Every structure is written in structure tokens, then in C-alpha cells.
Amino acid sequence: MAGTQLGLDRDDGEFDAIPTQVTLARSGMPAQTLPNAQWSSAMAMNDDSTADDQSAAGTQARDAHFLRHSFAVARRSMSHGNHPFAAVLVDAGGRVLIEAENGYMPARDATAHAERLVATQACTSIAADIRATATLYSSAEPCAMCAGAIYWAGIGRVVYGLSERRLRDFTGNHPENPTLDLPCRDVFASGQRTTEVVGPLLEDEAAALHIGVWDR
């Protein structure tokens, strides 16, 4: 799949298995949209609501939906013997383009954070204009390394669950994850193009993924 530009016409809807638990969805795959009930509830506004109110409610519902999807992938990562982290890239139309589990094992690759894996795959498989309007949903705040990778990949928006500060409360100085407590906003702010950041969001749900994990 290297070099395939998502956005070109394809006639299948399969997933490609990418090493280190990165999954690339081909452009023929249907958009993973919000369930109708959730979407209707989010958009059900009173008569005094504005178009901006409706748009904001829809964005919040969509963000919660796909962030919870990243939590589900993080749980899958744990079932594969890895750390409970995950990232999902979603295009402007609500279609999942790439999802990645943490890839620390089996090679003990400390750079195989889920967000970095998504950013790397996105650079080689997704057109720049799609990346610019896409959102990366991450179960935890991107570290400095991952924020740099997201910036260089030109991904326009990030939504994360657990903050680095709160993650450090769980990990401490664990040898497999001595958390780098530097806000991703600080990394993005030092760049020359805008990256929108939303988070922490659903933080208690995100934190639940780490209970007891780093005590082993």
C-alpha cells in the first residue's frame, strides 16, 4: 500500500494489515459515521439555536465517538501484549483512514507510539490535502516526539483523551514509559502552521485504560 493516495477511486473495501498493528483503510471503505440516534440527539437543538450551535454539537458528538473508538483500539493493543495506547486518523467526511495500536512489543521499540505510526503511514499513503483536514484521535496526549511527527505529516487537527500530566501520575518513571510531560500544544505552537488541538476529553474514560497497568 505504500504510495497509494487515499481519495483516488478504488473498487474494494478491504483493510490492509500493516506491520506493528497499523491498519490502513482503503478509500473504498464506507465512512464510519455516528449511529443515527447519537447523531440525532447531538443535532436536536431548540428553536433558538444557531447554525454554529448545531455545528458545535455535531463536532462534539463526532469527537466523542471517534475518541472512544481510539479507546477500543487501545484495549485491543493491551490484548496483543502492548501498552494501552492507540490513535485513529479520520478524514473530514467522518471516514476512518488509519488506526494504530502501540507498537512497543515485540522489538521493544520505544519510538513506536501509536500517533507516530499513524503519522508515518499517513505521509506515505494519504494525499496532503486530505491530511490537512483530517483529525487524529489519540487515547492519550501526543508526546513531544509524536506531536512533531503529526506536525511534519501535516495533520490539521488533534483530539486526545488523557493528558500527559495525568498519564505521568500513572506511569511514574516506569522504564517502558518514563512519560515526557511536555504539552503537545507547546510543540505545535513552535511550528509555522496551525494545528488545532482539543483535549483532554473524556479523560476519566481514557484514564481507566491505565489503572493497574504500570504497577507491574
Which residues are annotated as catalytic?
115
* SS3 of residue 20 by DSSP: coil
Strands 96-101 and 135-140: unpaired
Residue 11 is given by DSSP the state S
Task: Write the CB contacts of 146 (distance below 8 Å, at least 6 apart in sequence).
Answer: 113, 115, 116, 119, 138, 184
> Look-up: residue for cell 501498552?
83
C-alpha cell at 53: 450551535
- Report d(CA 164, CA 162) in Å as an integer: 7
The number of CA neighbours under 13 Å toward the Cβ of 151 is 18
CB of 194 closer than 8 Å to CB of 149: no
CB of 181 closer than 8 Å to CB of 141: no
- Report d(CA 40, CA 43) in Å as an integer: 5
